[in-house]
Amino acid sequence: MVASWAKGQIERFRRGAKTAPSNEVAYLVAIAKEHIMLQAILFDLDETLTDRTQSIVHYAERFQGDFADHLASTAASTVAAALLTADVRGYRPREEVLRDFSQRLSWRTVPDVSRLRRHWETCFPLSVVARVGLEETLSALHARGISLGIVTNGEVQFQAPKITRLAIGRYLSTVVISEAVQVQKPDPRIFAHALAALGCAAVHTWFVGDHPINDVLGAAAVGLRPIWLSGVQPWPPEHPAPPWQIAALGELVTMAQCANNAI
């Protein structure tokens, strides 16, 4: 039933619909009362396991040092502010972001955008900062015997080093990167890849992410229980609010404990 609801919501989103049938809300309440054994949790990567704002602040320090000969007197905080403004939380074409970013800085000599792109692609993945509670949450879930994995959109050479930087590989049973499987969220096939790798059915698996369409509705459309990490992306008002939400990763530990103790 979750899958049917989510598919309908995605289609309404794509068509620009403003309302949702009221019976779907009641239907979500009924789903919330189900008790199904939790076996696995899949996570989005960017803005779910990482803190993009703090990652950019960290990257800005590296950028300021590496381009010191090109920049006019510019503090790392100024670099960070310029990039945060241009970045739009990673949902803007990269070339467009870098051009905008470059125009916001004061230069002695302006480097080519291709050089800025190479620096970003090489150094940003090595600058990522974990979201608060990441290590403790994954450790606790792993200790409870819950299989964990990541499903992320992006290029392998850009996403894989982030996971290495976070030092969480020992907790993960699978990592699915869209470039490697040639399909992106919210396409159901990328979630199917992850489920097959875990050897778990969708009904026994949660998906945690910040993006309403790619993560929440995309995961629900294939029968996963979606957990929305609020506070990053706004929830589209034309869709019913998701019944399962967290404001911090640590909340998952209690949720998982309650879910399996209720069986």
* Cα 102 from chain centre: 26
Closest CA to 13 of 251, 240, 189: 240
Q: What is the pLDDT of residues 179-200, one digit of tens each?
A: 999 999 999 999 999 999 999 9
pLDDT above 60: residue 2: no
Do residues 211 and 233 make contact, with C-beta atoms less than 8 angstroms apart? yes
Q: What is the pLDDT of residues 122-143, one digit of tens each?
A: 999 999 999 999 999 999 999 9
**Residue-level pLDDT at 102:** 96
Task: State the sign of the Cα–Cα–Cα–Cα dihedral 84, 89, 91, 94.
Answer: positive
> 3-state DSSP: the chain helix, strand, coil percent, rounded to 5?
55, 10, 35
Q: Report, as an integer, the average pLDDT of 50-62.
A: 98
Backbone φ and ψ for 40, nearest 5 degrees, come out as -150, 155
CATH 3.40.50.1000 fits 2-50+130-261, yes or no: yes
Q: Report, as an integer, the average pLDDT of 152-176.
A: 98
Single pTM value for the model:
0.86
Please name the residues in contact with 186: beta carbons below 8 A apart, sequence gap of 6 or more.
10, 213, 214, 215, 217, 218, 219, 221
pLDDT above 50: residue 254: yes
For tokens 């996570």, the residue is 43
Q: Report, as an integer, the average pLDDT of 145-156.
A: 98
Annotate 201-215 with DSSP letters as a single string. -GGGEEEEES-IIII
Q: What percent of the chain has pLDDT over 70?
A: 86
Instruction: Find the helix or strand (DSSP H, E) in which 138 lies.
Output: helix 134-143
pLDDT above 50: residue 145: yes
pLDDT above 50: residue 106: yes
pLDDT above 50: residue 215: yes
The identity of residue 239, as a single letter, is H
**Residue-level pLDDT at 35:** 62
Q: What is the pLDDT of residues 235-245, one digit of tens each?
A: 999 988 899 99
Grade residue 15 by pLDDT with cuts at 50, 70 and 90.
Answer: low
Grade residue 156 by pLDDT with cuts at 50, 70 and 90.
Answer: very high
**Residue-level pLDDT at 34:** 58
Strand-pairing partners, residue 207, are 42, 226
Mean pLDDT of the chain: 89
Do residues 133 and 229 make contact, with C-beta atoms less than 8 angstroms apart? no
Entry field: residues in the chain: 263
pLDDT above 60: residue 45: yes
Do residues 140 and 255 make contact, with C-beta atoms less than 8 angstroms apart? no
Q: Report, as an integer, the average pLDDT of 106-134.
A: 97
Domain boundaries, the chain: 2-50+130-261, 52-127
More confident residue, 211 or 23: 211
pLDDT above 90: residue 83: yes
**Residue-level pLDDT at 18:** 41
Q: Report, as an integer, the average pLDDT of 86-109.
A: 93
How far is 18 from 39, CA to CA, in rounded Å?
36
Q: What torsion, rounded to 10 degrees, do the Cα atoms 231, 48, 218, 258 define?
A: -90
Q: Is 145 helix (H, G, I), strand (E, B) or coil?
A: coil
Do residues 260 and 42 make contact, with C-beta atoms less than 8 angstroms apart? no
